Structure 1
Amino acid sequence: MIKARVSRIDLQFITPGQTSRGTLNSKPSWFFILEHNGYSGVGECSVIAGLNPEYPDGYEQKIFEIAEKINSGVVPSLDDLDEFPSIRFGLETALLDLQHESAGILFPSAFTRGEKGIPINGLIWMGNKQEMQSRIREKLDQGFRVLKLKVGALDFDEEISLLRNIRNQFKPADLEIRLDANGAFSVNDAPEKLKQLSDFHIHSIEQPIKAGQWEAMAEICHTSPLPVALDEELIGIINTIIKEKMLDTIKPQYIILKPSLIGGLQKSREWIDIAAAKNIGWWATSALESNVGLNAIAQWVFTLNPEMVQGLGTGQVFSNNIDSPLELSGPLLYHRVNVSWDYSRIL
């Protein structure tokens, strides 16, 4: 019989993370630790306050209820956890880890054997102009040629000035710029702001306006000179028919998959399949998980042979992350076979 226990950690940001929704100094994650026949499986339930719809009301209690159920001999169906996307992801990945009887290996591949890396973008957190310029220079010096910049928290003219400065130094052929507005633009302001941003040969912009405004977002996608990627728009949509309807209505160029926010790996694959039938591109992004969640997402993504650079570079933002085989080498994320997991922070 599978035995389950639960652990929690408050991940501390090395540098406070600024987004258009505010500043993050720490964030919680819970872990299912499953054991069976001498093997263990670990899965992370990671939440971001204000984004995960299931948090905080009764959240921790639900995790402990699931652990108690497992200890009574009943493993809940993942489909019973659709209303708890991050918990579904945590249980799904803990079971996959346990199933493969090899610590931290959920999807054996050339990635987990250390033979190939996953190309990722460099993430530039919001800050003042000088801070952001310094962070951009650091990422470029590390070899990144795809940068994702958060926009919407600074004065817009400052953000335009920053982008102009980048483009004066780096041509589009040498540096791809992705933007993430986190819904910061108003419906009225978005068209003009997107027009100004298009001067800088931007690859795409995530969620220019707040989620839930399908008709307004559809108009933006139709008229925008920049390709639009949906991010928060996917959160909370469980029904397959509604997923289809949303994509048919808005017709975005891309969708962003954050498994902790949309129900895990199976549910993310469902979004990919629906989008592919409509010629909508995708990439996956971690949502401030520890290395446990990041590892699961990275291994899964690799098996899909993605065509695009992924957003999996958040493993270095916490001072108390869980030591793992994941390692960045320039713009590539690797799984080092000679490095073991150290779960001491959560055991």
Structure 2
Amino acid sequence: MIEASYKKYILNFKQASGTSRGVLKTKETWFLILNRENKQGIGECGLFRGLSIDDKPDYEDKLKWLCNHINEEQDKLLPQLIEFPSIQIGLEMAFKSLESQNTFELFPSEFSKSNDSIPINGLIWMGSEAFMKQQIKDKIEAGFSCIKMKIGAINFQTELNLIKSIRKEFNSRDIELRVDANGAFSPSEALEKLKVLSDFDLHSIEQPIKQKQIQEMAELCEKTPLPIALDEELIGLFSVTEKQELLQTIKPQYIILKPSLVGGFKGSDEWTIIAEKQDIGWWITSALESNIGLNAIAQYTYTKNSDLPQGLGTGSLFTNNFQSPLEVKRGTLQYNKIINWKYNL
């Protein structure tokens, strides 16, 4: 028999982090804890208030329901959690943790054995021009060859000047540049802005317009001079048919998967299979989980054998994160198995 419980945990940002949706100071998350005999399993339910489709008043009620039904088969539980993707991944994670020889080695690989690393992008948060310039300088000095900038909250010309300043020193072979608008552009202005951005040899732009504007996004992806990656657009689609239809209609150049927001590992697998059949590229990013969730997502990502830099460098953002073997070095995420986990739930 498995005993299940859950716990809420508030992660505190080291410094307020800006996006086009606002400034983040804290991040709420939940942990599903399973106990069977002398073994414990831990899964993180990475709820993202204001973004997750499962940001609902009955979220905690669903966790209670899950704990009461935990001894049912996992394959029967997951479909009943379909509208709660962050709980789905928490359940997948907790069972993998419970069944593994090491609580935190969920997807054994050369990565979790400390023999290989995952290339990641360096994330530049929105803020003043000086703040963003300093972040860019820090990331380049830290050895990142791929930088992702959040844009859309400050003056567009100021953002262009920042990108121009990078390109004056580093060409696209030296530094790959990605930008993320988080839906900040209006459909009427988006194409012109993409044309201007394309002058700087960018890798891609994430979600230039807000999600759920399917025809406008499809037209933008058809005409764009700059590869477009869908992000928020994927949230809230549950069936394989819905996912297929979205990608067939919009025909993006890339999709970005946040497992906590798109149905966990199973949901991410569905998206990658559909995307590859349509010759659409993809990469995986975290959604501001703690190191417990980030660890699981990173191990999963490594097994997917993607050559692109992933968005997994968020572990150092919080003052009260858990000490873990995850380390960012020279633009890669590494697993230092010499470092022990320290957590108190």
TM category, shorter: over 0.9
Would the aligned equivalents of 2:256 and 2:283 in 1 still touch at CA under 8 Å?
yes
Q: Which residue of 2 aligns with 1:6?
A: 6
- Correspondence list, 1:1-347, <5 A: 1-70=1-70, 73-74=71-72, 77-344=77-344, 346=345
Q: CA deviation at 1:68?
A: 2.4
Distance 2:51 2:294 in 1: 18
In structure 1, C-alpha distance between the alignment counterparts of 2:248 and 2:103, rounded to whole Å? 41
The amino acid of 1:270's aligned partner reads E
**Does the 8 Å contact 1:183/1:210 carry over to 2?**
yes
1:93 maps to a residue whose letter is: M
Separation in 1, partners of 2:232, 2:219: 17
Q: Which stretch has the larger CA shift, 235-244 or 52-61?
A: 52-61
Runs of 4+ in 1 over 6 A off after TM superposition: none
Q: Quick check: 1:40–1:101 contact (8 Å CA) kept in 2? A: no
Alpha-carbon separation, structure 2, partners of 1:125 and 1:164:
17
Partner SS for 2:69: helix
Deviation at 1:56, TM superposition (A): 3.3
Supply the distance in 2 between the matched residues of 1:281 and 1:88 (Cα, whole angstroms).
25
User: What TM-score comes out, normalization by structure 1 length?
Assistant: 0.97
**Pairwise CA distance, 1:46:** 1.1
Q: Aligned-residue CA RMSD in angstroms?
A: 1.0
Q: Distance in 1 between matches of 2:280 and 2:37?
A: 43
Count of paired positions? 343
| Counterpart contact for 2:28–2:49, Cα < 8 Å | no
Unmatched runs of 5 consecutive residues or more in structure 2: none
CA distance in structure 2 between the partners assigned to 1:340 and 1:166 by the alignment: 38
What residue identity is the alignment partner of 2:213? Q
One-letter code aligned to 2:64:
F
| C-alpha displacement of 1:75 | 5.0
Q: What is the CA–CA distance in structure 2 between the aligned matches of 1:49 and 1:103, rounded to whole Å? A: 28
> What amino acid is the match of 1:165?
S
CA deviation map 1:50-77 (0-9, x unaligned): 111111311122112211222xx43552
CA contact (8 A) 2:29 2:48 kept: no
